[in-house]
């Protein structure tokens, strides 16, 4: 299943090239830069994104996901550098096979 992925501003933009089986855009490219979490999720849903990929661990506690169509994949890394993101790619791709609308999935 091909998903529309949105990389949050906090993630190295080059990471988008790692999701070759999916359509992946950055928040900047999608013209959603500067939006706070709730508004970002709403606008991403309007733009028909399936999953927001972020490093923001607090998004789950700050937002209500009941009734949301967009899912969130939270990656826990030491930094937003590509070298720290790439080791988690295999886990992220496996998570995308399982993730459901409105679900928040954490990578470790």
Q: Which domains does the chain have, with CATH numbers?
A: 4-107 (3.40.50)
Q: Does pLDDT of 63 surpass 70?
A: no
Q: Which residue has the higher pLDDT, 6 or 59?
A: 6
Residues 64-83: tens digit of each pLDDT? 677 889 999 999 999 999 99
Query: Would you call 60 helix, strand, or coil by DSSP?
Result: helix
Q: What pLDDT is recorded for position 38?
A: 83
Residues 3-13: tens digit of each pLDDT? 999 999 989 99
Whole-structure pTM value: 0.91
Cα–Cα distance measured from residue 29 to residue 15, given in angstroms and rounded to the nearest whole number: 13
- What phi, psi does 20 have (nearest 5°)? -65, -25
């Amino acid at each position: 299943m091909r998903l529309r992925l949105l990389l949050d501003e906090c993630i190295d933009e080059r990471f988008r090239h790692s999701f070759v089986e999916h359509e992946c855009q950055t928040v900047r490219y999608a013209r959603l830069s500067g939006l706070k979490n709730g508004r970002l999720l709403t606008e991403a849903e309007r733009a028909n994104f399936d999953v927001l990929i972020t490093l923001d661990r607090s998004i789950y506690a700050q937002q209500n996901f009941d009734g949301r169509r967009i899912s969130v994949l939270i990656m826990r890394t030491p930094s937003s550098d590509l070298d720290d993101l790439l080791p988690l790619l295999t886990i992220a791709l496996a998570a995308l096979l399982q993730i459901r609308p409105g679900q928040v999935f954490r990578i470790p």
